[in-house]
Amino acid sequence: MTAVLSPITGEVIEDVAATTPNGLDAVLRAAEAAAPHWRAVPASERGRLLVEIGRRMRARAAEIAELETLNTGKLPADTRREADRAAACFEYYGGWADKAHGTVVPVPGPFHTYTTREPYGVVAGIIPWNVPYFFAAKKIAPALAFGNAVVLKPAAETPLTALLLGRIVGEVLAEAGHPAGVAQVVHGGGDVGRALVEDPRVRLVVFTGSDATGARVGAAAAAHFAPSALELGGKSPQLVFADADLDAAAAGVVEGFTGSCGQMCIAGSRLYVQREVFPDVLERVARRVGELRVGDPRAAGTQVGPQVTAAQAAKTRAFVDGGTARGARVVARAGTPAEPELAGGNWVAPTVFTGVPAGDPLLTEEVFGPVLCAEPFDDEDDAVRLAHDTRFGLGAGVWTGDPGRAHRLADALRVGTVWVNTYRILSDMVPFGGVGASGYGREGGTDAVHLYTWTKSVWLSTSPGVPAGYRKD
Ligand code: NAD
């Protein structure tokens, strides 16, 4: 049993039994047995079932959002949006299921040559603790749509909504007469995740988590020739030019590093501002941060909740204390709640630094907490140079009133997603992923078909008597 704790009060919400090695073996046996069955189900039928799952998820969205807030400490507005997005994800991939097909290739010679898209078989999805329900949907829905069996492992700290999603999916599949092995959710920490990705019965690994774990997961999957997609961390820059709407930029910057209490892979944790407006923008950002209401996410008016775990909160505070001790200057800090009943919560004050020494961990590492480092830049080249001064490449924000500059920057930045005059907007219709230490592979949009299937090529001779090896091109 592992105790699932509330990040708001520190109390136990529920005890959940971890999947044992024997249990995992049974799960993988069931998944392997179910995979050929599910591949043979007509794609349009798979699509209909996914849409039905989405409908049931929508009907329970309020209840699910409440549970997610309890387990993650995220604001109800965020968890409700994620619950709706998770249902929409099933509907979106339900629509995709019968539209993933191959092509006929007009090769020279007496051949009919075509490609088909093949499911992998058993897909393992592994997710972190910051967006458990939506990420569970994002892994399960496309895997099923394109004909795979799927085993999902949420983080040990936040399994509740993913387990609930597993039950909703299982219910719909069982009612339609499909085996439970088609979609299963296991529970446990890194040991269960490692056993899952190391198992040769797993033919594709789709992982979201930190770069350190991602490197291990990618290597473990490659050891038995399973491809992997790694959606990893970031240290994303926000670039504010003097010609931008500075108030909108300041609001976007603050939301970009304090949303989900900073526990976002796409957190805009490095702020670079054109020198002539640097003091002005810093002042606007500092004022907004100073006014943030940090507290119980369920209370009206709260803008920032707690961190998901006590360990993560301690890690974030250590980054802040270390940076301060090494000479970084704090220019703004929000408060934390004083109510005695919240004394056990994982509170961290959103903090803005400037003058962070080059190479300091505050600038180089993903804090995964509400911490921002701000510095000035001189021109576009300087802004791009600073933006690229990281091993990560997940996202970047550009704030400018000049459309030409917006396109130049979008072209120059080596990151998976560029937002211009906005930030942190995502859709299943748009591919998402990173470069460098932010990982590889793309989920979402048309890229999902290529992630969850492989290409088979078929050559068929249309002319009897053409010897094998005939080639004329
Ligand atoms: P983590 O890497 O510690 O854990 C992620 C998941 O991997 C958990 O389920 C964990 O139990 C499992 N795991 C741990 N060791 C494993 C192993 N050896 N083999 C297989 N699985 C293993 O990440 P976290 O601390 O839970 O989450 C925070 C990280 O996730 C941050 O780095 C954040 O940027 C990243 N993240 C990335 C994205 C994205 O889409 N790029 C989105 C959200 C979060």
Indicate whether 120 and 155 sit together in one domain: yes
- Residue nearest atom 16 in ligand 1 by C-alpha distance: 190
Kindly give the distance from the C-alpha atom of residue 366 to the centroid of ligand 1, in angstroms, as a whole number. Answer: 12
E strand intervals along 235-276: 237-240, 270-274
- Say whether pLDDT at 328 is over 90: yes
226-283 tens-digit pLDDT? 999 999 999 999 999 999 999 999 999 999 999 999 999 999 999 999 999 999 999 9
Catalytic site positions = 231
pLDDT for the residue 341: 86
Q: Are residues 147 and 6 in the same domain?
A: yes
63 and 209 housed in the same domain: yes
Report the distance separating Cα 177 and Cα 160, nearest Å: 26
pLDDT above 90 coverage of the chain, percent:
93
Q: Which phi and psi (to 5°) does residue 128 adopt? A: -90, -170
Q: Using the predicted structure, report yes or no on whether residue 446 has a pLDDT greater than 70.
A: yes
400-412: pLDDT as tens digits: 999 999 999 999 9
Q: Are residues 135 and 222 both part of a single domain?
A: yes
**Ramachandran sector of residue 373 (left: φ over 0; alpha: ψ -120 to 50; beta: rest):** beta
Residues 375 and 355: their CA atoms lie apart, in Å, by 7
Share of the chain above pLDDT 70, in %: 99
Strands (E), 43-135: 104-105, 111-119, 122-126
Report the number of distinct structural domains present in the chain: 2
Same domain, 197 and 241: no
The residue segments making up the domain with residue 274 are 237-420
Helix (H, G, I), strand (E, B) or coil at 265: coil
Across 381-393, average pLDDT: 98
Question: Do 246 and 133 have their domain in common?
Answer: no
pLDDT of amino acid 25: 98
Residue 462 CA to ligand 1 center (angstroms) comes to 51
Neighbouring-strand partners of residue 434: none
The CATH number of whichever domain residue 368 belongs to comes to 3.40.309.10
Show the ligand 1 pocket: residues with CB < 6 angstroms: 126-130, 153, 155-156, 189-190, 193-194, 197, 208-210, 213, 216-217, 231-234, 265, 366, 368, 394, 434
Q: Taking a C-beta distance cutoff of 8 angstroms, is the pair 167, 140 a contact? A: no
Report the atom number in ligand 1 closest to the C-alpha of 154.
9
CATH at 15: 3.40.605.10
- Whether the per-residue pLDDT at 472 is higher than 70: the answer is no
Inter-CA distances, 43 with 84, 93, 98, Å: 24, 11, 5
* Predicted TM-score of the model (pTM): 0.95
217 falls within a domain: yes
pLDDT over 80 (residue 473)? no
Torsion angle of the four alpha carbons 23, 24, 25, 27, in this order, in degrees rounded to the nearest 10: 90
The crossing angle, in degrees rounded to 10, of helices 160-175 and 61-72 is: 150
pLDDT value at position 470? 63
Same domain, residue pair 242 and 228? no
pLDDT value for 344: 87
pLDDT band at 342 (very low <50, low <70, confident <90, very high): confident
Q: Residue 471's pLDDT is what?
A: 58
Q: Which tokens in the block code for residue 430?
A: 């748009």
How far does residue 210's CA lie from ligand 1's centre (Å)? 5
Work out which ligand 1 atom sits closest to the CA atom of 128.
26
Whether residue 249 is found in the same domain as residue 369:
yes
